[in-house]
C-alpha cells in the first residue's frame, strides 16, 4: 500500500507520497455504508501507513456516500442496532481524532450516515451536485452515527431539528454557508483542490497537525477555563519540539520551514 494501489471490494486506497486517497466504491448503492465499507475505513484509520500525513476521502460514480445501507439496517435487532451505532461512533472518532488530517472531496449524495462521515473529517469540499440531507425521520428512524453531536455542533440543535423534521436538502452553496462544507467549487474541482490542500497540510509539522485535530474539538466541549488550560498545554508541547525551532528559524531567515 505504501507505494502503490490497494483495492478492496468496498474501498480503494491509493497512496501518493504522503497523501492517501480513499475512494468509497459501492457505485450500485451510491456508496451507501455497509459493514464491509465501515470495516475497511476502520482498518485504514486504526493503522494508517507510516508515511501518510494526510488522507483524502471521496466517492465514485457521482456520489460521496448516501448513508447507511438500509437493507442491512432492517435486519438488526434493537440490541444489535445499539452496538452498531456505538461501533460507528468509535470509527468516526478514530477518523476525527486519529491524528491524520482528512479532507472530504464531495459530490452527489452526502446523506444521512454520509453526512455523519463527512463531518468527522476536517476539511470538506463540495461540488455543485452535492446534496446534504438527514432523511432518517422520513424513514421512521433516528440518526445513529454521530449526527446529533457532529452535525448538531455545526448547525445548532434548532436548525438540525428542522432539517430532520422536514427532510430538507441543502446544496453546495447552502452547505458552505451553514458550515457543512468549507469550500464550494465547480464540477470536477473537488478532488484537485483536496490534493492541493493535502499537500499544504502535509508540509505542516506533524505534531502541530495532531494537536489541531485533537485539541480544538475537545476544547469546544470544555468550559472556558478548562479550554484555556488545554490550550496552554498544547502550546507548551508544540513549542518544545525540533519542528518549532525549525519553524522559528525559517521565519527569521525568510524561507519555508522543513519539518520532520
CA 66, CA 165: separation in Å to the nearest integer? 19
Give the residue among 81, 84, 10, 17 at the shortest CA–CA distance from 43. 10
Angle between helical axes of 35-46 and 78-97 (0-180°, round to 10): 30
For cell 477555563, what's the residue?
225
CA 156, CA 195: separation in Å to the nearest integer? 30
Q: Which of 16, 136, 196, 253 is catalytic?
A: 136
CA 248, CA 73: separation in Å to the nearest integer? 52
C-alpha grid cell for residue 192?
484537485
Q: Which of 80, 116, 127, 245 is catalytic?
A: 116
Total Cβ atoms within 10 A of residue 80: 11
Residues in the chain: 260
- DSSP β-bridge partners for residue 33: 68
Give the residue among 142, 87, 98, 143 at the shortest CA–CA distance from 120. 98
Active-site residue, 79 included:
no
Supply the DSSP symbol for 121: S
Give the residue among 72, 56, 77, 75 at the shortest CA–CA distance from 11. 56
Residue 1, C-beta contacts closer than 8 angstroms, at least 6 positions apart: 13, 15, 49
Active-site residue, 116 included:
yes
Which active-site residues does the annotation give? 116, 136
Amino acid at each position: 500500500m505504501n507505494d502503490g494501489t490497494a483495492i478492496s471490494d468496498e474501498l480503494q486506497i491509493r497512496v501518493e507520497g504522503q497523501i492517501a486517497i480513499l475512494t468509497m466504491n459501492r457505485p450500485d448503492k451510491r456508496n451507501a455504508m455497509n459493514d464491509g465499507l465501515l470495516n475497511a475505513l476502520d482498518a485504514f484509520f486504526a493503522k494508517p501507513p507510516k508515511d501518510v500525513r494526510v488522507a483524502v476521502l471521496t466517492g465514485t460514480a457521482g456520489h460521496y456516500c448516501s448513508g447507511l445501507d438500509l437493507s442491512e439496517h432492517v435486519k438488526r435487532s434493537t440490541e444489535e442496532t445499539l452496538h452498531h451505532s456505538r461501533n460507528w461512533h468509535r470509527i468516526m472518532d478514530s477518523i476525527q481524532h486519529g491524528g491524520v488530517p482528512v479532507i472530504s472531496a464531495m459530490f452527489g449524495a452526502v446523506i444521512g450516515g454520509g453526512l455523519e462521515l463527512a463531518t468527522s473529517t476536517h476539511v470538506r469540499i463540495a461540488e455543485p451536485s452535492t446534496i446534504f440531507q438527514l432523511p432518517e425521520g422520513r424513514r421512521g428512524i433516528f440518526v445513529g452515527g454521530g449526527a446529533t453531536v457532529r452535525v448538531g455542533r455545526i448547525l445548532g440543535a434548532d436548525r438540525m431539528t428542522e432539517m430532520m423534521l422536514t427532510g430538507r436538502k441543502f446544496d453546495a452553496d447552502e452547505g458552505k454557508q451553514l458550515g457543512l462544507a468549507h469550500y464550494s467549487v465547480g464540477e470536477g474541482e473537488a478532488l484537485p483542490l483536496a490534493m492541493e490542500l493535502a499537500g499544504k497540510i502535509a508540509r505542516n509539522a506533524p505534531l502541530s497537525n495532531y494537536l489541531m485535530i485533537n485539541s480544538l474539538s475537545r476544547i469546544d466541549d470544555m468550559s472556558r477555563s478548562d479550554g484555556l488550560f488545554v490550550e496552554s498545554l498544547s502550546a507548551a508541547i508544540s513549542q518544545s519540539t525540533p519542528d518549532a525551532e525549525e519553524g522559528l528559524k525559517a521565519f527569521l531567515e525568510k524561507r519555508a520551514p522543513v519539518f520532520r
